[in-house]
Structure 1
Amino acid sequence: MSHAPTSIDPTKPSIARVYDAFLNGSDNYEVDREVVRGVRKAAPEAADLAVENRAFLIRVCRFLAARSGITQYLDCGSGLPTAENTHQVVRRVHPEARVVYVDNDPLVLAHSRALLEGDPTAVFVAEDIFEPERLLANELVRSHLDWSRPIALLHMGTLHHYNGEDARTRKDIVRAYVDALPSGSYVALSHFLDPEDEFSATARKMEEMFLHSMMGSGTFSTRAELEDLFNGLPMVAPGLVRCADWQPDAPHTEPLNAARRCIAGGVAHKP
């Protein structure tokens, strides 16, 4: 990048730009790439954390649009726009689908508003995704989506970056969103995973690199801890699994590497 837009600090890494660096994008700075290099010391294939997260998002959106008939999406922590954004995926099935993207990174704000300019059915809201009550009270969030009809809540690769200093947990954050969702809605989450097997040591090494980088976040949780985030909602098959194993487009032809074994996701339904 040749210059920094107003209010962007190129001396501090951002979650959105680090993910962009993992995906070999161009919207990142040296400080973001330093985080990536550190995590790759623990797992050279660590970029697959971001790759699998994105692929999971796309498959989930296709499922929700084509098989569940959802036409409204609240995409929290949307990150920098890339190929196959949520609104582009779901509109292949429902051209009238409405999407609210949420992020508070100023670079994401600039890129997303440029992408969505002139699009009346997809909007961007600058809010903190870890403050659900404030976000859900946002006038644009309330008016752009019909809260009497089902909504898909997407929290992809976000909650492992929550480092709340008060008593509020990640489960509490999800519950606040779920309580506000209409009946018939869906909740889709992805999160760094400690697989509790021979790859557990690699997961914890990657976590150590994330947490001790300037970014200071990136927690790997066990399957039981991640299941708890869904607050008892019934899960869509195949349940909470590694992202690569959630309704894949084709069978795996090779064993999953360490990074692909260390990010999980699932989709739940609110009756």
Structure 2
Amino acid sequence: MTDSPAFGELSKRIKTNQPHTARIWNYWLGGKDNYEVDRQAGDQIRRLHPGIGDYALADRQFLGRAVRHLAGEQGIRQFLDVGTGLPTADNTHQVAQHVAPESRVVYVDNDPIVLAHAAALLRSSPEGRTDYLDEDLRNVDSILEQASRTLDLSRPVALMLLGVVIFVEDDQEAYEIVRRFMDRLPQGSFLVLSHTVTRPDMPDVDAAVAFWNEHGTPKLTQRTPGSVTRFFDGLELLKPGVVSCNRWHPDSTDVALPEVAMFGGVGRKS
């Protein structure tokens, strides 16, 4: 893979002298696809907010529980994962195809290091299929046109937007992007979305995000829990609504889980 012309072109776009959010996220999750500059920034952010690694884990586990629920309880067999991030354990296709091997998954990301690893690591089951698109979240029409090579867009699709609309600074643009996706998808489709939040009782999160926006790329935008809920306007919001990611259908209800500043929800287009 690393000797291929495609990888050579991608490697020219990878900046190793500036911390990058996907690689820092990978570092917090225990991955190896990161550089010293990412680890230094990740450690500095963790000093500002010691629980930040828990957010990365909570978001990843939320992905797993949401995909299992949609593939198992809702019968969804098609997933469009935009803003994939670096591959780790329990990626969308692995979770979905464990439940339903025939599931089809299209990953979308425009980060060159993500794409380089996605092509090597995200392998489909024999019964299902995966594809990978080099696209920006904002290019809705192009994403859906290319995704239609793998997905039947006349049938329900689960749109996965985990920790990606935080990179769209303008609120109205962010809401419009999500609306355009959901308008194009058929009835019975789902939106799965997670987002870093800002709240008066979580000031250390604001400090960590401010540090990141000064030193890292791309810049992050926080929103209130209420503003995150607005992404689901017009959809049937599944219980328990938009909540701390670790509190969405937790694996165990025996212990009261502390909130993390990464909130998520799942909504159905009816």
Same fold (TM over 0.5): yes
Alignment gaps of 5+ in structure 1: none
Q: Does 1:151 align with 2:166?
A: no
TM-score (norm 2): 0.89
Matches within 5 A, 1:19-58: 19-58=25-64
Give the percent of matched residue pairs that are identical in Structure 1 and Structure 2. Answer: 37
- Look up the match of 2:24: 18
Q: Structure 1 stretch 98-107 or stretch 129-138: which is displaced more?
A: 129-138
Contact map agreement 1:14 1:105 (CA 8 A) in 2: no
CA contact (8 A) 2:20 2:218 kept: no
Distance 1:209 1:48 in 2: 18
Q: Which shifted more, 126-135 or 85-94?
A: 126-135
TM superposition shift of 1:216 = 4.7
Q: Matched residues in 2 for 1:118 and 1:43: separation?
A: 37
Q: 1:132 to 1:252 in 2, by over 3 A?
A: farther
How far off is 1:118 after superposition?
A: 7.3
Note if contact 1:150-1:185 (Cα within 8 Å) is conserved in structure 2.
yes
Show the counterpart of 1:62.
68
- Give how far 1:130 is off: 2.7
Q: What corresponds to 1:88 in structure 2?
A: 94
Give the superposition deviation at 1:127.
Answer: 0.8
Contact persistence 1:195–1:261 (CA under 8 A): no
2:97 equivalent to 1:98: no
* Deviation of the 1:210 alpha carbon: 2.0
Q: Equivalents in 1 of 2:254, 2:140: separation in Å?
A: 37
Query: Structure 1 residues 145, 179: CA separation in 2 closer, same or farther (over 3 Å shift)?
Result: same
Q: TM (normalized to structure 1)?
A: 0.89
Alignment pair present for 1:193 and 2:192: no
Listed as ranges, the gaps of 5+ residues in structure 2 are 1-6
1:130 maps onto 2:159 in alignment: no
**1:183 is the counterpart of 2:182:** no
| Alignment check: 8 A CA contact 1:80 1:111 kept | yes
1:183 shift after superposition = 0.8
The answer as to whether partners of 2:124 and 2:130 remain within 8 angstroms in 1 is no
CA pair 83-38 structure 1, distance change in 2 beyond 3 A: same
| Alignment counterpart, residue 237 of structure 2, candidates 235, 247, 259 | 235
TM-align CA RMSD: 2.0
Give the drift of 1:254. 6.0
1:269 partnered with 2:259? no
- Specify whether residues 245 and 116 from structure 1 end up closer, same or farther in structure 2 by C-alpha distance, changes over 3 A only: closer
Give the letter for the 1:182 counterpart: P
Shift of 1:246: 0.2
For each residue in 1:102-158, what CA deviation from the matched residue of structure 2 results, as whole angstroms up to 9, or x when unmatched? 1111121121111245766011111112322232232xx111100110000000111
Of residues 88-97 and 149-158 in structure 1, the stretch that sits farther from structure 2 once superposed is 88-97
Residue aligned with 1:133, SS: helix
Q: Could you say what secondary structure the match of 2:85 adopts?
A: coil
